[in-house]
Every structure is written in C-alpha cells, then in structure tokens.
C-alpha cells in the first residue's frame, strides 16, 4: 500500500471513529491506531475515557497484529479495564492492506461503570420480598396473556407494539392454542398490549 493510500485509509477510519464516538457518547471511547508506527500508534482518540494521548504506543493487541497477519481481525466484547480501575468492554478491529498486512486498527472501549450502577439500582428497585403478602391487582388471566405476549415479542427481538401483521396473527394462534383467549376480556387485553384496536384484534381472532 502506498503512503498516499495509507493516509487516505487512516483519514476515513478517523471519520468513522468520530461518528461512532458521537453516537455512543459519553460512554464509548473510539481510538484509531496507525500500526505502521507502533511506538506512536494512536493517531486519533475520540471521547477520551482512558486518559491516553495522540502519539502514545500501541497496546498488546496492536503489537500482536503487527507480529502476525494471522491474528484475528475482529475481537469483540472482551473484558478490559481503564488505568484507574474502571471496568470496560472493548472491541478491536484490525485493518489490513492489499497485501494482507495489518496497517491500522479501530478500537472501541465502553465504560461500564454507569451501566453497572444502573443494573444494581434496577435490581434493588425490582427486588420483591418473597415473604411478603401476595395481592393481585388485576385478574391473573389478563397478566398471563400479557406475559405470553411479552415473551413472544422478546423472541423476535421486538416490543409487542413492533410486531408485524403476520407475527400478530401467529401470536393470536398461539394464544388460542394455549387457551389464553378463553379468558374473560382476552381480546381487549391483547389489543391493549399490542397497541392495536379491538376491531383489529377481533379480526385476527375471527381468521383463526
């Protein structure tokens, strides 16, 4: 790869890094490495969370790629740590030239501190004392319908409101098969949870 091509590649990588950092700010640091200059490999660092500087040396992964073209191009979601001990999740992408030699790398480091704090807070907030008195604020049948809908939507990586027409019809068939449509006001519950009209829900039911 010529110096001109390499310079152009690094410039394009820097644009990608900037876009990623702005999209994922303030949680994600994005770094561009010039692996042809390992002693001063950091070419750009966006949303700096690690405290490193432009011109700092390559990390162990960068050196490993320089030593071996067989080193994996993509290492995603591996555990990492900032210098001050903050936990991080990192992804490293190696970039090769036309001859198969590593010349650059794009690395993302996500600070997990806030997310872990949020996770702990949510666990505490949603904790239920198993010895407490049980009270049903609504008929258990309606809750069973909502739970089934949520599980179905989760399997399709969607919320209930995002389900497409064919998925809604399939869901309705499963609800009927499991006897959940025999519950009082089942159609109204389905319509409300899917965010559709009762007329639409009745139409799906009629087509079964």
The answer on 163 and 96 residing in a single domain is no
Give the torsion sign (CA, 136, 137, 139, 143): negative
Same domain membership, residue 56 and residue 22:
yes
Burial of 91 (0-12, 13-18, 19+ CB in 10 A): middle
What token pair was written down for 185? 């006001």
* CA 119 from centroid of its chain's CA atoms: 15
Predicted confidence at residue 141, as pLDDT, reads 80
Between CA 79 and CA 13 the distance in angstroms is 24
Interatomic CA distance for residues 104 and 65, integer angstroms = 9
CA atoms of 12 and 25, how far apart (whole Å)? 20
Last residue of a domain, one of 77, 112, 147: 112
What CATH number does residue 91 fall under? 3.30.450.20
Structural domain range at position 21: 3-112
- Identify the band that residue 134 occupies on the pLDDT scale cut at 50, 70 and 90: low
Q: Are residues 10 and 54 in the same domain?
A: yes
Residues 26 and 88 placed together within one structural domain of the fold: yes
Cα separation, 82 vs 89, whole angstroms? 10
Per-residue buried b or exposed e for 138-157, using 16+ beta carbons within 10 Å of the residue's own CB:
eeebbebbbebbeebbeeee
How sure is the predictor about 207, in pLDDT bands with cuts at 50, 70 and 90?
A: confident
Strands (E), the chain: 28-34, 42-46, 74-81, 87-96, 102-111
Q: For Cα atoms 94, 61, 10, give the angle at the middle one, nearest 5 degrees.
A: 35
| Total domain count, the chain | 2
Out of 28-32, 67-71, 128-132, 180-184, pick the least confident: 128-132
Q: Are residues 99 and 194 in the same domain?
A: no
Q: Is the model's pLDDT at 133 over the cut of 70?
A: no
Does 198 share its domain with 151? yes
How far apart are alpha carbons 71 and 76 in whole angstroms? 13
Residue-level pLDDT at 51:
94
Instruction: Specify the pTM.
Output: 0.64
Where is the domain boundary, 95, 112, 129? 112
DSSP, collapsed to helix, strand or coil, labels residue 37 as coil
Reported as a single tens digit per residue, the pLDDT across 48-81 is: 999 999 999 999 999 999 999 999 999 999 999 9
Instruction: Provide the token pair at 63.
Output: 């050196």
Same domain, 104 and 7: yes
């Amino acid at each position: 790869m010529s110096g001109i091509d390499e310079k152009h590649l690094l410039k394009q990588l820097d644009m990608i890094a900037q876009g990623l950092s702005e999209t994922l700010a303030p949680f994600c640091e994005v770094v561009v490495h010039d692996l042809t200059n390992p002693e001063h490999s950091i070419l750009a660092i966006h949303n700096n969370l690690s405290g490193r500087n432009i011109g700092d040396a390559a990390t162990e992964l960068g050196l490993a790629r320089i030593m071996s073209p067989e080193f994996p191009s993509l290492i995603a979601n591996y555990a990492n740590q900032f210098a001050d001990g903050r936990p991080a999740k990192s992804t490293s992408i190696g970039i090769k030239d036309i001859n198969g030699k590593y010349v650059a790398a794009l690395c993302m480091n996500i600070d997990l501190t806030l997310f872990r704090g949020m996770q702990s807070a949510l666990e505490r907030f949603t904790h239920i004392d198993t010895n407490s008195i049980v009270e049903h604020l609504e008929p258990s049948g309606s809750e069973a319908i909502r739970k089934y809908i949520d599980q179905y939507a989760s399997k399709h990586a969607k919320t209930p409101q995002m389900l497409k027409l064919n998925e809604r019809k399939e869901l309705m068939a499963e609800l009927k098969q499991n006897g959940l449509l025999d519950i009082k006001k089942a159609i109204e519950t389905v319509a409300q949870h899917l965010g559709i009209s009762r007329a639409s829900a009745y139409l799906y039911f009629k087509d079964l």
